[in-house]
Amino acid sequence: MEMNRVPPKRRSWAEPWKVKVVEPLKTTTRDHRRKCMAEAGYNTFLLRSEDVYIDLLTDSGTSAMSDRQWAGMMLGDEAYAGSRNYYHLQEAVQTYYGYRYLVPTHQGRGAEHLLSRILIKPGDSVPGNMYFTTTRLHQELAGGRFVDCITPAAHDPADPSPFKGDFDLDALERLIGEVGAARIPYICVGATVNMAGGQPISMANMRAVRELATRHGIRVFLDATRAVENAYFIQQREPGHVDRSVASILREFCDLSDGCTMSGKKDAMVNIGGWLAMNDAELYQEAANLVVVYEGLHTYGGMAGRDMEAMAQGIVESVDDDHVRARVGQVEYLGQKLIDWGIPIVRPIGGHAVYLDAKAFYPHLPQDEFPAQRLAAELYLDSGVRAMERGIVSAGRDPATGDHHYPRLELVRLTIPRRVYTQAHMDVTAESVAAVHERRHEAKGLAMVFEPKYLRFFQARFESKD
């Protein structure tokens, strides 16, 4: 008898690349992982990468470069001044992001440092759509105060709104009314918003921010770290953009800003590098001068020529529609699996990561016993999958009062590097999350026993309360 098999539902995408080089992974035993986790003080940043099986700590500098990017590494012009790779990078930035002037930096925070130093005066307020760790710290070190003006929906992990990165325009207007436009050096726009769960900001909201800023004579600076992924979400979710390329959306979006800081380690798929860009000639002069003090000459700014070449090529590849669709598609694949199994994650699924809702996992743990820190540790203990805390530890302390910031979002980030892992790795990860979810009632809190002054989440140490 003939079997009448129904073909499986067709997938909408497959990876638009094939594998040319592989890096072997090591599996470890639970006993070994228990030892490693205790030695690391329950902080996944303090594990050795050797002891990790699937590394979802971050998508920063961890992507796989293409054959063309590797070929570009051999074309490095390591001249101290005027390297040809700098001009290639400048051309890529001008073409795809549209800014006139480029100042290369060693990575994103180098650009944040320069911008903050140049524009922020003590006592200034810098509004943004939710904080980012390094961005806010540089604003504070320059004497400024970060003011969160993101839409309230962003603080609710279950809210399904498509653009949870949008600004609350009323909050922005209120702030300008309170402190005056003269005390706001720029509006800092994150796209996508990392700490909200990789959530995008819409073109319409960005345009409204631009109009409001122009009306008050305030600059708009973009954190363009994942602006390509943001452009993809605009294409997919915002009416009127579905037939456009990601590249053309990115250009229109950036054109609404005066410049940007950029970590090339994310969208641009390089292991190191970043830049500051702007349209204003005077501001460029200042930045090109200051970069010499902190990073390097204005035509390399902390990068080798080969790194600039790899980034120029990475930018071209990053805006390819097939690439972004597959990249975000893989994140959605993992997230959808967890949703189907009833596991609490931030919705909608973000662009670069799936964020587990640790408050919903461990409602019995108070926030100052670090539920997300515990959840990241449990995941590692279960399978060797490494994730990152994005909750109270990352939020740090209020510089004025010295108290913890208590963010409403207490999350664990499963961050997917670009072009690195397969769907099978996503399946293994999902099953491990499910196993940790099964045992959620047994989880104990943590106590912080070492706390560094700056960006404590990188190096803080904890002990288990059991």
Q: Measured from the CB of residue 199, what is the shortest distance to ligand PLP in angstroms?
A: 12
Would you say 246 or 268 has its CB closer to ligand PLP? 268
Would you say 102 or 176 has its CB closer to ligand PLP? 102
Would you say 13 or 294 has its CB closer to ligand PLP? 294
Out of 72, 76, 104, 108, the only residue in the binding site for ligand PLP (CB under 6 A) is 108
Type and span of the H or E element at 190: strand 186-190
- 370 a catalytic residue: no
Contact status: 373 vs ligand PLP (CB under 6 A): no
Size of the site for ligand PLP (CB under 6 A): 15
- 266 a catalytic residue: yes
User: SS3 of 85, please?
Assistant: helix
Q: Which of 30, 35, 80, 368 is catalytic?
A: 80
Q: Measured from the CB of residue 20, what is the shortest distance to ligand PLP in angstroms?
A: 26
Per CB under 6 A, contacts with ligand PLP among 252-291 are 263, 265-266, 274
The window from 26-34, 107-115, 116-124, 301-309 that contacts ligand PLP (CB under 6 A) reads 107-115
Out of 41, 157, 190, 305, the only residue in the binding site for ligand PLP (CB under 6 A) is 190
- 80 a catalytic residue: yes
Out of 33, 88, 109, 419, the only residue in the binding site for ligand PLP (CB under 6 A) is 109
Contact status: 60 vs ligand PLP (CB under 6 A): yes
Contact status: 307 vs ligand PLP (CB under 6 A): no
Cα(291)–Cα(296) distance, rounded to whole angstroms?
A: 6
Q: Which of 266, 418, 419, 440 is catalytic?
A: 266
Burial label for 438, CB within 10 Å (0-12, 13-18, 19+), is: exposed
What string of DSSP letters covers 201-257?
A: --HHHHHHHHHHHHHHT-EEEEE-TTHHHHHHHHHHHSTT-TTS-HHHHHHHHHTTS
Type and span of the H or E element at 177: helix 169-179
Q: Which of 132, 186, 370, 421 is catalytic?
A: 132
- 457 a catalytic residue: yes
DSSP 5: P
Cα(210)–Cα(224) distance, rounded to whole angstroms?
A: 16
Contact status: 223 vs ligand PLP (CB under 6 A): yes
- Taking alpha carbons only, the member of 73, 47, 10, 148 closest to residue 303 is 73
- 133 a catalytic residue: yes
Would you say 62 or 90 has its CB closer to ligand PLP? 62
- Taking alpha carbons only, the member of 231, 321, 315 closest to residue 273 is 315
Rounded to a whole number of angstroms, the CA Rg of the chain reads: 22
Cβ 112 vs Cβ 218: under 8 Å = no
For residue 442, count other CB atoms closer than 10 A to its CB: 10
Q: Which residues pair with 319 in a beta bridge?
A: none
- Taking alpha carbons only, the member of 157, 211, 152, 198 closest to residue 357 is 157
Per CB under 6 A, contacts with ligand PLP among 113-152 are 132, 134-135
Would you say 16 or 61 has its CB closer to ligand PLP? 61
Per CB under 6 A, contacts with ligand PLP among 192-221 are 194
Binding site for ligand PLP (CB under 6 A): 60, 107-109, 132, 134-135, 190, 194, 223, 225, 263, 265-266, 274
Q: Which residues are catalytic?
A: 80, 132-133, 223, 266, 390, 457
